[in-house]
Amino acid sequence: MHPTITAFEDSPDEGQGLARDMRVRWALEEVGQPYDVRLVSFSDMKQPRHLALNPFGQIPTFEDGDLTLFESGAIILHIASTTTGLLPDDPIARARASMWMLAALNTVEPPIVEREQATYLEGDKPWFAERLPLLDGRIRARLDPLARWLGDAEWLEVEFTAGDLMMVLVLRRLSGMDLLEEYPNLSSYVARAEARPAYQRAFQDQLAVFTHRN
C-alpha cells in the first residue's frame, strides 16, 4: 500500500503548483515514494470524514497505515525524516535544513498569505489600495534578508534540502505580485528548483487533475 494524500478537486489556481498538496507531491517525488491521491471538494473538506483527518478542514492530509497527518510542513518533516534525499545525514546540517523549512512557514509565508487574503477577502474594501504598500513592505522585510543570505549560492545551505523545497514553494506564492522580480537571485533560486525532475513530475501530476478533466 502506498501512502494517500488529499488534494483539491477544484483548485483556485487550477493546478499551477500553488495549492499545498504540491509541497507533499514534490517531497514524495524527491525521495522516490509512490503515492495515491484522493481528490476532495470544498464541501468534502467540511465533512466529518475529512475533519477527522484535519480538524481545520484543509488539504493536504497524509495517510500511511496507522499514521494520519495534516499540515504540509509536518507531512514533509515526516517524509524527510523517514527517507533519504530531503535532509542531510549530518546532525548539524539536518537541524539547519529543518530550520529553513520552519523559517519558510513561520517567517516568510505569513506576510505573503496576508497579502493574498487582502486581495481575495478585502479587495473591494475602500482601504485596500492604501494598505497594499504596507503589505508589500512587510513582504520585502522578509525577502531582503533572505536574498542577502542566499547571495549567489545555489541553495540555502550547502545542498538542496526540504528547507529549499518549502522556501521555493512559499516564494512561488508571490506569483502575480511583482515582488519576487525585484530580487534576481531569489528568482533564479526558484527557477533552479523548478528545473528539478522531481518538481517537474509533481507539477505535471497536479496539473493533470485539471487538464484531464477539460
Q: Interface with a second copy by CB under 8 A: which residues? A: 51, 55-58, 66-67, 69-75, 77-78, 91-92, 95-96, 98-99, 101-103, 105-107, 109-110, 113-114, 117, 121-122, 125-127, 130-131, 134, 138, 142, 145-146, 148-149
Q: Between 75 and 190, name the residue whose CB sits nearer to a second copy.
A: 75
CB of 184 to a second copy, least distance (A): 18
CB of 44 to a second copy, least distance (A): 16
Q: Between 81 and 211, name the residue whose CB sits nearer to a second copy.
A: 81
- At 110, list the grid cell: 505569513
CB of 61 to a second copy, least distance (A): 10
Q: What are phi and psi of 169, to 5 degrees?
A: -70, -30
Q: Between 126 and 197, name the residue whose CB sits nearer to a second copy.
A: 126
Q: Between 25 and 96, name the residue whose CB sits nearer to a second copy.
A: 96
CB of 66 to a second copy, least distance (A): 6
Exposure pattern of 142-171 as b/e (b: 16+ CB <10 Å)? Answer: bbeebbeebeeeebbbeebbbbbbbbbbbb
* Residue 10 neighbours by CB under 8 Å, 6+ apart: 41, 42
Distance CA 207, CA 55 (A): 27
